[in-house]
Amino acid sequence: MTNLDNLYREIIMEHYKNPRNKGLLDDPRYTKIRIKNPSCGDDITVQTLVEDGIIKDCRQEATGCSISVASASVLTEIMMNKPVSEAIKLAENFLNMVSNKEYDETLDLEEAEVFGGVKQFPARIKCASIAWVAFKDTLDKE
């Protein structure tokens, strides 16, 4: 983490300490996906509620390293009230960005741009990606 920009690091730590939209709901209208990353103990569940093609709610329950927990928190904030088609595009773009693949820099990833530096640390790419993969999977299950 030492090579990451300090501001980015601060944002990640802030989300790690105060995760947004944390806690799952026992509500059958929600779709839930859980993904674990055994290599560093990350355990992430993402829950979405879609109505009329809009993500009405996005929740998470995450334990693990700071990158995976912060990434889940940032995800829920960004996806709230987004149309499903736009949300999928953003998630794919994020996953390409952190895995050092070509991505569309004109798409606004908002605070999630802080994870752009993760590509320099191949071992952490999975940490940053888990919540976003789980999120996409909840939409596929709709």
Q: Tell me how far apart the alpha carbons of residues 34 and 23 are, in angstroms, rounded to a whole number.
A: 13
The tokens 């736009």 sit on which residue? 86
Nearer to Zn ion, 1 or 88 (CB): 1
**Least CB distance from residue 134 to Zn ion, whole Å?**
14
Scan residues 64-93 and list those touching Zn ion (CB under 5 A): 64-65, 68
Q: Does 12 bind Zn ion (CB under 5 A)?
A: no
Q: Which span sits near Zn ion by CB under 5 A: 14-22, 54-62, 63-71, 95-103? A: 63-71
Nearer to Zn ion, 31 or 66 (CB): 66
DSSP state letter for 106: T
CB 124 within 8 A of CB 118: yes
Gap between the Cα atoms of 125 and 8, Å rounded: 16
Residue nearest to Zn ion (CB): 127
Task: Answer whether 15's CB lies under 8 Å from 69's CB.
Answer: yes
Per CB under 5 A, 63 contacts Zn ion? no
Stretch that binds Zn ion, among 17-25, 60-68, 71-79, 95-103 (CB under 5 A): 60-68
Select from 33, 90, 127, 128 the one that contacts Zn ion (CB under 5 A): 127
> What is the number of other CB atoms lying within 10 angstroms of the CB of residue 20?
17
Q: Which is nearer to Zn ion, 12 or 127 (by Cβ)? A: 127
Distance between CA atoms of residues 26 and 20, nearest Å: 18
Mapping DSSP to helix (H, G, I), strand (E, B) and coil, where does residue 50 land? Answer: strand
Give yes or no for residue 40 binding Zn ion (CB under 5 A).
Answer: yes
Q: Which residues bind Zn ion (CB under 5 A)?
A: 40, 42, 64-65, 68, 127
